[in-house]
Amino acid sequence: MNNFNFSTVGKINSCFKEKFTIPRQPGLVPAATAELILLDNYSIPEIVRGLEGFSHIWIIFAFHAVPIGQWKPTVRPPRLGGNQRTGVFATRSTHRPNPIGLSVVRLSDIKISEGQVSLVLDGCDLLDGTPVLDIKPYIPYVDSISDASGGFADTPPNAKYKVCFTLQAARECELSSIRLARDVEELIRQILALDPRPSYHSAQQGDRIYATHLCDFNLRWRYLADDIVEVIELSIKEE
């Protein structure tokens, strides 16, 4: 049996600063952008020569924020309501024998400056600081299989909630969009419409406040009746 050591070729600079609210699959939140910054000997223009011809790429990475070695042969997928077990190899759970992840993302730009190469990615499901092990081009004629079966995840999840903003949160969205040069309101809408809560919280509504660190701010929201999410506040994250 062979053991392997891998070098980190790059790191992810993402809007997701915590695991909570990260989409459960890539592409579900198109507004979730990230930058893959190549490291050390890999940050040379030649290494990405020809990559500009591909619209999407595969990112092979390590789940660096999960406990190493704490995995089980079965898990409870959120797609099955969190109350049914299935084999870990039939899921994309982060708790695996080898904590390796695979995501396909849109390549929107390649930035090359003196001493630095980075890739701008759209539709990411990657935590900030994720170590990247490899990058491969997405090749449609082999990577897209029209008659493939998706098991218990055969159809995409539907947006469950309408997202509204308090007056304060709406103003804070405007200011954050200017500061970050991105559409913060659309990013929040896409994330919360899919309901990122654990399955056992899905029936809870009312006064409970949920929060996460997104981009450079703390986001706070709650679930109201009639499938409505109310964004309460975006406050600047203090270091």
Fold classification of 10-152 is Elongation Factor Tu (Ef-tu); domain 3 (2.40.30)
pLDDT tens, position by position, 57-84: 999 999 999 888 888 899 888 878 777 8
pLDDT reported for residue 80: 82
Query: What does the domain layout of the chain look like in residue ranges?
Result: 10-152, 162-236
Q: What's this model's pTM, rounded to 2 decimal places?
A: 0.90
Residue 93, classed as helix, strand or coil, is coil
- What is the band of 202 on the pLDDT scale with cuts at 50, 70, 90? low
CA distance 59 to 183: 24
Q: Which amino acid, one-letter code, is at 164?
A: C
| Tokens 């450079």 -> residue | 216
**Quick one: what percent of the chain has pLDDT higher than 70?**
96
Q: What share of the chain is helix, strand, coil (3-state, %, to 5)?
A: 20, 30, 45
Q: Which amino acid, one-letter code, is at 40?
A: D
pLDDT reported for residue 90: 92
> Where is mean pLDDT largest: 65-69, 209-213, 225-229?
209-213
pLDDT tens, position by position, 33-55: 999 999 989 999 999 999 999 99
pLDDT reported for residue 237: 64
Residue 55, classed as helix, strand or coil, is coil
Q: Which residue has the higher pLDDT, 176 or 4?
A: 176
Work out the mean pLDDT of the chain and round it to a whole number: 91
What is the arithmetic mean of pLDDT over 168-183? 95
What is the arithmetic mean of pLDDT over 182-207? 84
pLDDT at 239 > cutoff 60: no
pLDDT at 238 > cutoff 80: no
CA distance 152 to 79: 8
Do 210 and 221 touch, CB atoms closer than 8 A?
yes
Do 15 and 214 touch, CB atoms closer than 8 A?
yes
Q: What is the CATH number of domain 162-236?
A: 3.30.2310
What is the arithmetic mean of pLDDT over 169-183? 95
pLDDT tens, position by position, 126-144: 999 999 999 999 999 999 9
What is the arithmetic mean of pLDDT over 219-223? 94
What is the arithmetic mean of pLDDT over 191-202? 82
